Chain A
Amino acid sequence: MVPKIMKQGWLAPLLYLGPALLIMLVFVIYPTVNTVILSFMDRTGTQSAAVDCSSDAPCWGVFENYRYALTTPIMLTALRNNALWLLLMVPGTVAVGLLFALLADRVRYESLAKSIVFMPMAISFIGAGVIWRFMYYIQTGGGAQIGLLNAILVKLGSQPVAFLSDSRFNNFSLMVVGVWLWAGFCMTILSAALKGLPTEVLEAARVDGANEWNLFWSVMFPMVLPTVVVVTTTMVINVLKIFDIVFVMTGGNYGTEVIANRMFQLIVTDTGKSMAIAVLLIILTIPVMIFNVRRFRAEEAMR
């Protein structure tokens, strides 16, 4: 470990660690504690949340903000939508990423193809939101459809669809944007894992007459499973905190509300409720985070 020759007093560590410790105390530890406290206070953060109770409605006393976060219709919608994202968008993104990593591995223009799919990760979610608002745009009241998707629908003889405001489709429309953004990330990580597989094993299986389908499911997939798990949990965290896409595309209207957007919308008008939602968010993410960090350390140790 540390060479003996470098023994020093307490002053040196303090000087080196001091700035970082001070900043993190002020910007991470203090606000986290304060947020938990504020989640039990009213909209101005000055008195107990219980003052918001009215006599003719259910009341959870000092936990009133949590009643809002867990039982009100808008929050139930948000929780349902986050669950939908988890169930559909996360597996979808990982599957698309894995499929593309597998396919691109077999052609000579691999790096170009991968760059194209990876590129959306470089731009902001707000920018991606603009790109897709334009894709989904619907022209009402006559005139040609200038959004690509509706132009295709009309060309095929169908009615144009309000992709972002029709509550039958809009959550899926938003998820497509998520897949478009993150598939490249999943692909890059999974592609690295696939390339790390020992070629002898794959060759041996091929010699034994395994077809590509069997080879994938019984040899490759089990071997990259740890990476698939890391990518999936990372996506789970991203999706639990999903905010920018929803904010810029629908503002959480028309039944597309998600937890983090509700938190943001209430930040100014009702601090207590907003902070209760933030606490709910951290409670949901912590188990996944701990799992993910551990997994990541284990991967790191194996390198």
Chain B
Amino acid sequence: MNPLNRLNKLFSKLPLHLAIIIMCILWLVPTLGLFVTSFRTRQAVRETGWWTVFSKQTVAGQAEYNTYCASCHGTDGKKIANANLADPTIANQFTRSINLLLDLQKPINNGPHLVDPQLPTNATKAQAILSPILTYMRALSGHVETSGKLTLSNYLDALVGYKGTANYLSDCQQKVPGTLVVFNCTSADLLNQAGMGRAFLNTIAVAIPSTIIPIFFAALAAYAFAWLDFKGRQWLFALLVGLQIIPLQMVLVPIARLYVSVGLQSSFLGIWLFHTGFGLPYAIYLMRNFIGGLPREIFESVYLDGASHWTAFRTLALPLAMPAIASLGIFQFLWIWNDFLVAKIFLSTKPVLTVQITNLIDPLGGNWNILTGAAFLSFIIPMAVFFAFQKYFARGLLSGSVKG
């Protein structure tokens, strides 16, 4: 193909490439926003959008500072010697923007502090301007974070379940009383009841047995349905497969009541059994089709050699069914890892990742930095499983979407 033709082809395909790339960007951006935010400081998240980390932007608050302060104090804050805004002791006087507002409302040189432009009279609106100015004053005095700075502290905060307004590590260093009530400031905090660290372990404790147990029982039952002869085999199989149509919502309350009466509420055993019961119909269906599809001759030959059913099951059926087991296992594992409803109802005192995330949500949106870190922690395992086993996952989804 000569270069001109190639160029022609590229141009004729340009709209196609554009359409695909735009769609990919649309799909990636929401997750990217979450990811970027999880590395930003609390203050930075509150003041500027996450996308600003990609632009070589002016320091946070500079625009506001230039509008309101620069004409008198100078762009570097040093123009008035006895009111040097770049002096850290001045910036430190104002821990909150309301303090600064009160100070600005005091007259200066027998006139109002700010003349042109004036601050909005509404205190909330005025603070919304002063808060970035404070940030900028701190930046001028060279003593705090600029909003471009990235941090890992959100992940630590999420792991320990920190709910304060600074961050766990600095609170521990400064021995903030409110934080010391909740935390020991030792590595034991990683297992704090309200944190994602503990939730991570809980999720693993739920997901692994809840994946293995139903698959094992399903394999046993599938072997019986495929290679044992007994009365009512067909209709019993049809009945079990038919149970796939029962939605989760139909079985929650009676089992929750049953658990209360036998003391299984909020126990791992209880949730393992629940996931087993609810996972079995589909698992049996899939395993029966696979094990029943194995060549009959190999089973006949081992029986002729005098092998028992148990031997045939263990040494033939199970190893040969590994592809089906893998596909089923991946699907069941991800389903349980991402489950919220079952864990919320049956494991209320041992929160799993999804439940813990909902516990961390601040309706006022004050802790996006920690919440995004927490959400990302919950994505690590499923993302890894997803990218490693994508092809198994796709097929499992279609057949398994009948479930749940």
Contacts and interface: CB of A to CB of B under 8 A. Distances in A.
Contacts of B368: 134, 137, 146
Nearest to A188: B394
Contacts of B240: 20, 24
Given A23-B273, A28-B243, A126-B358, A13 B230 contact: yes
A116 B386 CA distance: 11
A267 B345 contact: yes
Contacts of A2: 226-229
Interface in A8-61: 8, 10, 12-13, 16-17, 19-21, 23-24, 26-32, 34-35, 38, 45
Given A3-B300, A20-B221, A27 B255 contact: yes
A231 B345 CA distance: 30
Contacts of B357: 126-127, 130
A124 B378 contact: yes
B29 A148 contact: yes
Given A6-B227, A32-B251, A267-B345, A103 B33 contact: no
Contact of B24 (A113, A124, A247): A113
Contact of B309 (A8, A185, A274): A8
Contacts of B19: 103
Chain A contact surface mostly: helix
A170 B352 CA distance: 28
B385 interface: yes
Interface residues of A, number: 98
A146 B45 contact: yes
B183 interface: no
Interface in A93-144: 100, 103-104, 106-107, 113, 115-127, 130-135, 137, 141-144
A162 to B, nearest CB: 12
B296 to A, nearest CB: 6
A174 interface: no
B394 A5 contact: no
A278 interface: yes
Nearest to B51: A148
- Count class of interface residues, chain B: 35 or more
Contacts of B300: 3, 5
B224 A16 contact: yes
Interface in A165-203: 180, 183-185, 188-189, 192
Contacts of B49: 144-148, 151
Contact of A146 (B46, B129, B249): B46
Interface in A53-74: none
Interface stretch (B108-116, B167-175, B186-194, B395-403): B395-403
A26 B277 contact: yes
Contacts of B249: 241, 260, 263-264, 277-278, 281-282
A82 B17 CA distance: 36
Contacts of B276: 23, 27
A20 B214 CA distance: 8
A241 B247 contact: yes
A27 B227 contact: no
B251 A35 contact: yes
A155 to B, nearest CB: 10
Interface in B58-94: none
Contacts of B402: 234, 237, 289, 292-293, 296
A34 B254 contact: yes
Contacts of A137: 365, 368
Q: Could you say which of A122, A137, A286 has the most chain B C-beta atoms within 10 Å of its C-beta? A: A122
A17 B224 contact: yes
A188 B401 CA distance: 14
A127 B375 contact: yes
A245 B300 CA distance: 51
Given A131-B33, A282-B246, A144 B27 contact: no
Nearest to A16: B224
A120 B397 contact: no
A211 to B, nearest CB: 14
A183 B127 CA distance: 43
Contacts of B278: 27-28
Nearest to A234: B401
B273 to A, nearest CB: 7
Q: Could you say which of A16, A23, A264, A282 has the most chain B C-beta atoms within 10 Å of its C-beta? A: A16
B47 interface: yes
B321 interface: no
B387 interface: yes
Nearest to A110: B20
A6 B378 contact: no
B134 interface: no
B390 interface: yes
A144 B33 contact: no
A241 B281 CA distance: 19
Contacts of A13: 224, 228, 230, 233
B139 interface: no
Interface of B: 13, 16-17, 19-20, 23-24, 27-31, 33-34, 37, 45-51, 124-125, 127-129, 131, 217-218, 220-221, 223-230, 233, 236, 240-241, 243-255, 257-258, 273-274, 276-278, 280-281, 284, 289, 296, 299-300, 303-304, 309, 313, 334, 337-341, 345, 353-354, 357-358, 361, 365, 368, 371-372, 374-375, 378-379, 382-383, 385-387, 390, 393-394, 397-399, 401-402, 404
Instruction: Kindly list the 7 A-B residue pairs having the minimum CB-CB distance in the complex, ordered from nearest.
Output: A27-B277, A142-B128, A122-B386, A124-B338, A16-B224, A31-B254, A34-B254
